[in-house]
Amino acid sequence: MNNNAVYLVSTLRHLHFSMALAFENSDENAHLIITGSNISEEVLHKLRASELSPFISMIRIEMYIGETKKKLKDFRHIQQQMSDYLVPLMPSKCFVGNDRKDYAQWFMNFSTKLNSDCVRYYLDEGTASMVPYSKTSRSIVDKLEGFIKKLLFGFWFSMPPAIGASKYIDFAYLIFPSLAHKYLKNKNILEFERKWLLNTSLLKLLSEIGGLSTAELGELTRITTVFVLPRKKLINRFYGGIPQLKNILQSYANSSNCVGLKYHPADSDGISELEQGIDHLVRLPNTLSLEMLLGFLPANLTLIGDISSALFTVKWLNPETTVYSISGGAINIDKKWLPLLKKVNIELKIIESSI
């Protein structure tokens, strides 16, 4: 009996969830396709080398960028690489995150052609599973983009109204099934279980691929407050500027309160002027996502950041965590988020630029 499950992954979030499912379904043969450059070569190399990895095989496929003619040529190259990898496997299951991507739809469509019994799964995209695109202008753009891609790549492509809602998805794994947007509600919804991300083998593997030393693991256990920072260029918007944010950090960091900083991937080297002169401050590793690090942090954590999938996931994974979603004093938060924040018990924190 064919028992090959293939995971198509482009982000650390989906790598995390895919590893958890692969460990949970250890009776299956798990295979991994990494796309794009969001997952570092360092992480991939360590995952390949690890004896703990739940994946039997894995490949990396680079994505195309550039003009239309080059996109078509590069897409054919992507198809060939995926085809060469998938044909011997004839997947019985396939997993994707963003099913609006052309290569993700091709992956699911081709897997079904290889094996008509192949079951196709959507892995929770975080906030995109709760709030779909709603602007009319976005809808018009999507329809136009969908039509162009049909002509360019083939009539197998179909732009869904929201992430997770494509015709290729049979089942959807969600962390908050009750908060699924309306386009997901007609799918077979499965609850992603917390315990899968707290699997001991998974935590050991995360420590290994994250390159976490014993000393670094010890530092993580001391942290009581974590700031999840936006991109450097957006700090003015949410905090009024770097000096104001530095003042806030200094007000939290003391001998009994160690503060962790989780930088945006675009600022992985940190912001030196923000950290200078502040004691009891720890920069969280940039090789792993915040969700990947949560199993190493204290349960009674306080988390502060702008609205993101990470905030919702942390609150789901550890309900004891106090989570604040911040909004700049002059900025009105989009009202669509207010009921969602309330339902999962995330508090709204207004940051005044005068702090």
pLDDT digits (tens, 9 = 90+) for 5-46: 999 999 999 999 999 999 999 999 999 999 988 898 999 999
- Band (212; pLDDT cuts 50, 70, 90): very high
CATH classification (class only), 4-197: alpha beta
**Whole-model pTM?**
0.91
Segment (H or E) for 200: helix 200-209
Report the DSSP pairing between strands 223-228 and 188-191: unpaired
pLDDT, residue 343, reads: 93
Q: If pLDDT is split at 50, 70 and 90, which confidence band does 183 have?
A: very high
**What class, spelled out in words, does domain 213-351 have in CATH?**
alpha beta
Kindly report each contact of residues 76-85 with a partner whose C-beta sits within 8 Å and lies 24 or more positions away, as own/partner: 78/103, 78/106, 79/103, 79/106, 79/110, 82/33, 82/106, 82/107, 82/110, 83/110, 85/31, 85/33, 85/59
Sheet holding 93-96, edge to edge: 55-61, 29-35, 4-9, 93-96, 119-123, 171-174, 188-191
Domain with CATH 3.40.50.11110 in the chain: 213-351
- Range in 68-77, 237-246, 287-296, 318-327 with the lowest mean pLDDT: 68-77
Would you state the pLDDT for residue 104? 95
**Tens-place pLDDT, residues 123-175:** 999 999 998 865 544 567 777 777 777 777 778 888 888 999 999 999 999 99
